[in-house]
Amino acid sequence: MEQELITKIIQLIAATLGSAGFGIVFNIPKEKMLPAVLGGFVSWLSYLICVGAGCNEYLAGFLAAALTTAYAEISARLTKAPAIMYIVVGTVPLIPGAGLYRSMFAMLRMDMVTARQQGIYALLFASSMAAGIVLTTLADRLFRQYGKRFAKQQL
């Protein structure tokens, strides 16, 4: 149990540092770096919580991407920055790089069964992430649009 907790803490640190690296590569301004990097922490923490609660990996990826997008939208409003900046840096830990690597490695070994399995996994996981991002962004825009209409009607 203790070893599992240590492993998860190391994963959270690695996710946060990985997001910081991408923040540097994408030239995120210094004053906006901390909220961007915390997005990576939020994404991996929410993924670990979902998997720990019994969700399958695809649902966990969807929910983690959705929560990270909601965090990014809030951070964008607070810092007056584009939300995409926080979404990109925040979702970096979720990218199914291991599945893509395994798929390509299997192709090089001419193991097409494994290549197909890993490729389909990576494609489905990336699709679940994309769905979480798109639906959360759409919901945010709809709420803000209807909120403005409601506020105008109240005046």
Q: How far is CA 34 from CA 6, 8, 19, 82, 143, in A?
A: 24, 21, 10, 15, 27
Alpha-carbon span 95 to 121, nearest angstrom: 12
**What is the reported pLDDT for 145?**
86
Say if residue 45's pLDDT is above 90: yes
Mean pLDDT of 10-15: 95
What are the tokens at 15? Answer: 């996710």
Identify the band that residue 80 occupies on the pLDDT scale cut at 50, 70 and 90.
very high
Of all residues in the chain, what percent carry a pLDDT higher than 70? 96
Q: What is the DSSP string of 55-85?
A: --HHHHHHHHHHHHHHHHHHHHHHHTS-HHH
Q: pLDDT digit string (tens) for 124-151?
A: 999 999 999 999 999 999 988 887 777 6
Mean pLDDT of 26-43: 94
Q: In one letter, which amino acid is 137? A: T
CB atoms within 10 A of CB 2: 6
